[in-house]
Amino acid sequence: MKGFHFLVAFALLALASTLASASDPGPLQDFCVAINDTRTGVFVNGKFCKDPKLAKPEDFFISGLNVPGDTKNQLGSKVTLINVDKIPGLNTLGISLARVDYAPYGLNPPHTHPRATEILTVVEGILYVGFVTSNPDNRFITKVLYPGDVFVFPVGLIHFQFNIGNTNAVAFSGLSSQNPGIITIGKAVFGSEPVVNPDVLVKAFQLDKNIVNQLQSRLWPLNN
């Protein structure tokens, strides 16, 4: 009888473990609308897979990260992202890479990666970085980074990097998704298409409506 109880307990434990470890796969794009007619389906959660026997070295390779990005823009920064669209072999591996170049006093503005944690290391220059925790605390966690320093931005949290030096800066980031996604806060809120009703933004940010209209007129063209 004791043996029977042991087997039942073992079976329940095994079942509980299976249920605890089961979950839907994480989304690899913003959304994936279900359809009944597969003939009209054009997207999967990720990418379709090539026959492994047909894989070649070029599927896992890219060059050019030694070339600085063009920072001649309003923000003075350039992100060069190497994701599954650039290296097909990254599909299903849950990782991507980025080079970030900063002009003197250049900014990678507040943004979030909805599908990835980011780990950043500084190669050149001095960066002032930080992220803000979720509600209700909204703690600002910040650090000044020098060459060789490493900093982590947890998944989904708003973060930034700012070159506080008078020379160029370079950093490399690893991201825990083949398609981390990026939402730049200012562009998303004030530069969406179509634009968000200004009354919503006036109420949310406690801004004068004229200021909201000015922000939308300046940021909306950046998305088009």
Taking CA atoms, 184 is separated from 32, 58, 209, 222, in Å, by 22, 32, 22, 11
> Known binding site for Mn(2+): residues?
111, 113, 118, 159
> Known binding site for oxalate: residues?
108, 113, 118
User: Whose structure tokens read 């730049």?
Assistant: 184
Strand 158-163 versus strand 107-112 pairing type: antiparallel
> Known binding site: residues?
108, 111, 113, 118, 159
- Calpha distance 106→129 (Å, rounded): 12
Contact 172, 99 (CB under 8 A): yes
- Calpha distance 161→106 (Å, rounded): 9
The C-alpha angle 153, 176, 159, rounded to 5 degrees, equals: 20
- Calpha distance 65→99 (Å, rounded): 7
Contact 103, 163 (CB under 8 A): yes
**What is the DSSP code (8-state) at residue 70?**
-
